[in-house]
Structure formats: C-alpha cells, structure tokens
Amino acid sequence: MSPKFLRDTFLSLVIAGSDTTGSTLTWLFWLLSKNPSVEAKILDEIYRHQKPNDQQQVGKPSAGGDDSYKEQEEITIFKAEECQKLTYLHAAVCESLRLFPTVPMNHKMPIERDVLPSGHIVTPNTKIIMPYYSTGRMVSVWGEDCMEFKPERWISPAGHDRILHQPSYKFQAFGAGPRACIGREMSLTVIKMIAATILCHYRYELADLTIHLRSPNPSFLKSRTTSRLSSDVHFVVSALKINSILTLIRSIVK
C-alpha cells in the first residue's frame, strides 16, 4: 500500500466517521425514547452478558474543580470485543439506520449509455438519485411493517444470538458495491460501544412528547450531508442507578 492510499484511507475514516456516527446515535436514542420496550430488551441483554469484573474505576473530579481526583466511582465502559455479544443492540442500530440512514441519499453516474431495469435510458454523466431514506421504508422491500421500529427483523430465525444478513443493495445505509463505506464495521462497533455505555448510566426522555415516529415532521428532519435532528428537539437526561435499571427492565420485559 502506498503512502497516498494510507493517507486517503485515514482521512476518510476520520472525516466521514465523525458526523455520521453522531447522527446515527442521535436517531437511535430518539427511537429508543419512543420505544421503551426495545430499550429494556437492550438493557436486559447487556446485563445478561456483563461479567462481574466488567466495571472500571474512573476518577471523579473533586468539588474544588481542580484536576485532582479524590473520589472514585464505578463506571461500566464497554470494549469492542464485549459489544460483539450484544446481538439485539446491533439489530436496533441497523433498524435505526434503515429508518434514518446517516446519508439520506446518494447519486451515481453511468460512464456510457445504458438502459435501467425500469426501461429508462440514461446517458453518460446523468445523475441517478438513490434515495436511501425512501427505499428503507418501501413496503415492497421491507414488508407491511416497514414504518415500524422493529429490531427483531434483523434477528436470524436460527437463533437469537445471530444477526440476519441483509443484502447491501437492500440495506444501503453504508452504500453497496465496490465503493461501499470502508468504515462500516468500525462505525458499527463504535456506535455499540457508546450506546451500551450511555444506556447503562443514563435514562433519557423526549422533552416534547408530541413528536410521533410514524409522521416525521419536516421541521426536525434536516437532510444535508447527513440526516440529523434539529436543535428544537431536546432530551431530558438523568443518571441511573443499578436498581432503577433493573426495575425498568422488569417492568417492560416479561
């Protein structure tokens, strides 16, 4: 590999992996706040796979505001290898990307005259728009429940610990073909690490409960380079104790 190839690959991972990861996490938490039963199932999975020694001691700043650390508290920080076991969380992330792909649309151009399967003739340099946001919500592709946030559609019938593979041209959140996103696996791992860590320590709720999942309001769905929630959508976040988490799981998961 040439230095230029390594440089370009590194820049792609750094630049393309910042806003996209943040956008995916934002939509994931928004969907979980609207679907508490899914959140509870994720928490149940996390605590079923968590080992007693999975907690790390993290310093807590002293009341004086200096850099010294006088108090210690236990915070669970998830590692990449631990997140590989979180199948349901992985399914929830994929389902979030299906409904709200980080890049809502893309385009390609043919290098020579061609005829599409639909019968349309395209000439060189014609932009062919690929609306990932729309194709992720097509009944003909995802079924009658395509508008529902349903992580179970990603779980293999062969077992709850296996993810059901979806063809890249069906699930296009990371693109498809030879120019698909090179950071797919890295981004999924980072998203799961962050999501699992936050879910273990915080409870979050929408400040405005009038926002409905089935009828997204264009005022908060902004389609730029990445899709994102607008600044007028707020979450109320509170710290969670272990007893509160277990109570939440028991109250929802039967």
- Do residues 193 and 28 make contact, with C-beta atoms less than 8 angstroms apart? no
Q: Which of 4, 21, 55 is nearest to 191 (CA)?
A: 21
- In the chain the beta strands, taken as DSSP E runs, fall at 55-61, 69-76, 106-108, 114-115, 121-122, 128-130, 202-206, 221-223, 227-229, 235-239
pLDDT, tens digit, 9 for 90 and up, residues 120-149: 999 998 888 888 999 999 999 999 999 999
Q: How far is CA 168 from CA 28, 59, 218, in A?
A: 20, 43, 27
The two three-digit tokens of residue 203, written as one number = 């409870």
pLDDT, tens digit, 9 for 90 and up, residues 194-245: 999 899 888 877 777 665 544 444 434 444 445 556 556 677 777 765 555 5
Q: Which of 28, 46, 26 is nearest to 249 (CA)?
A: 46
Say whether 181 counts as a known binding-site residue: yes
Say what percent of the chain tops pLDDT 70: 72
Euclidean distance between CA atoms 137 and 33, whole angstroms: 20
> Given this model, what pLDDT does residue 29 score?
92
Euclidean distance between CA atoms 61 and 77, whole angstroms: 18
Residue predicted with more confidence, 175 or 13:
175
> Given this model, what pLDDT does residue 188 score?
92
The answer to which of 5-19, 80-94, 164-178 has the lowest mean pLDDT is 5-19
> Given this model, what pLDDT does residue 234 score?
72
Structural domains in the chain, sorted by start:
3-62+69-252 (1.10.630.10)
pLDDT band at 31 (very low <50, low <70, confident <90, very high): very high
